[in-house]
Amino acid sequence: NLDIRVNKLPNDEVGSLGAAINDLAAETNQYRANRSELFANISHELRTPISYLKGYANVLKNNLYETEEERRQYLIIIEDESDHILRLINDLFDLSKMEEGKIDLQMEAVDIVEIMETVVLKIGIELEKKGLRLVTEIDEDIPFIEVDGNRLEQIFINLLTNAIRYTEKGSIFLKVRSKKNNVYVTIEDTGMGIPKEELPLIFERFHRVEKSRSRELGGTGLGLAIVKNLVEIQHGTISVSSEVNRGTKFELSFPKVE
Ligand code: ADP
């Protein structure tokens, strides 16, 4: 009889055994809840673009269009939605590798200024399209940091793409400074901002302040979850502050190479 056996244990042991079993059960339940929420999210995220694909494929199959231009528009939608699905799957794959600690990092001494120059070149077109100004302030003699250069680039592309995506007018400020043993980067925009109560949630998978807006602008809702993971596995830190209708600021730090 299990009851009797448990009762024979000294009191504190019974207590800690009970607590351990409760913890395990809670963890398992939490794991199950997280997993089923994740599957629900993924299904939901895939359903929308796939229903567009199906709908427009049907329109084309049945010749339900009037002009050649209209037909072309439908094909463009099919192409865009396919891109969205691919982006989503790539992001999910990346994130799951990170969360399992199975991501290969090529850590080496990296010149962050050089990475910034590449990033600025890459986002130039998007900036120009929206008529936004990029103001950079990069101190002299920034020390090298020990990171994976490609993954560092991915972090900044993600943050700057968001800054552009959620800013209608004004500027984006990019600063790189060094102090003591760290290199600090801030990326600040003059965009729509994030409400205070949402701030602690934005690094979670699929959390968006405005779902439809993010989707319309091509977002998968996974960008910041990936960024936070990437920063932390490279021994950096990231924090965010924001004011609605004023703008958002992300601050990052990485330890310099010893
Ligand atoms: P998404 O693909 O939707 O942009 P992210 O994970 O990159 O997903 O960001 C999560 C949410 O955080 C976004 O949907 C948006 O609501 C908010 N967000 C991120 N960056 C900014 C920013 N610079 N300004 C305002 N809101 C932002």
* Nearest Cα residue to atom 25 of ligand 1: 193
Nearest atom (ligand 1) to Cα of 191: 24
- What is the reported pLDDT for 7? 53
Calculate Rg over the CA atoms of the chain: 24
Å from CA of 85 to ligand 1 middle? 18
37-50: average pLDDT: 92
61-85: average pLDDT: 96
pLDDT per position as a tens digit, 180-238: 999 999 999 999 999 999 999 999 999 999 877 777 777 899 999 999 999 999 999 99
Between 153 and 26, the more confident residue is 153
Using DSSP's 3-state secondary structure scheme, residue 133 falls into strand
pTM: 0.86
Please indicate whether residue 192, judged by its CB atom, sits closer than 6 Å to ligand 1.
yes
For the ranges 22-26, 87-91, 103-107, 245-249, which has the lowest average pLDDT? Answer: 22-26
Report d(CA 188, CA 170) in Å as an integer.
Answer: 11
* Nearest Cα residue to atom 7 of ligand 1: 223
* Nearest Cα residue to atom 8 of ligand 1: 221
Please indicate whether residue 120, judged by its CB atom, sits closer than 6 Å to ligand 1.
no
Q: At what angle do helices 149-165 and 223-233 cross, to 10 degrees?
A: 150
Å from CA of 216 to ligand 1 middle? 12
The pLDDT confidence band at residue 8, using thresholds 50, 70 and 90, is: low
- What is the reported pLDDT for 1? 43
Å from CA of 31 to ligand 1 middle? 26
Burial class (CB in 10 A: 0-12, 13-18, 19+), 254: buried
pLDDT per position as a tens digit, 149-172: 999 999 999 999 999 999 999 999
No. of helices (H) and no. of strands (E), the chain: 7, 7
The pLDDT confidence band at residue 27, using thresholds 50, 70 and 90, is: confident
Q: Number of C-alpha atoms within 13 angstroms, CB side, residue 130?
A: 22
Burial 150-183, CB ≥16 within 10 A → b, else e: ebbbbbbbbbbbbbbbbbeeebbbbbbebeeebb
Give the whole-number percent of the chain exceeding pLDDT 90. Answer: 79
Nearest atom (ligand 1) to Cα of 205: 6
- What is the reported pLDDT for 151? 97
Nearest atom (ligand 1) to Cα of 193: 25
- What is the reported pLDDT for 14? 75
Q: Which residues contact 173 (CB under 8 A, 6 or more apart)?
A: 135, 136, 137, 186, 187, 188, 189
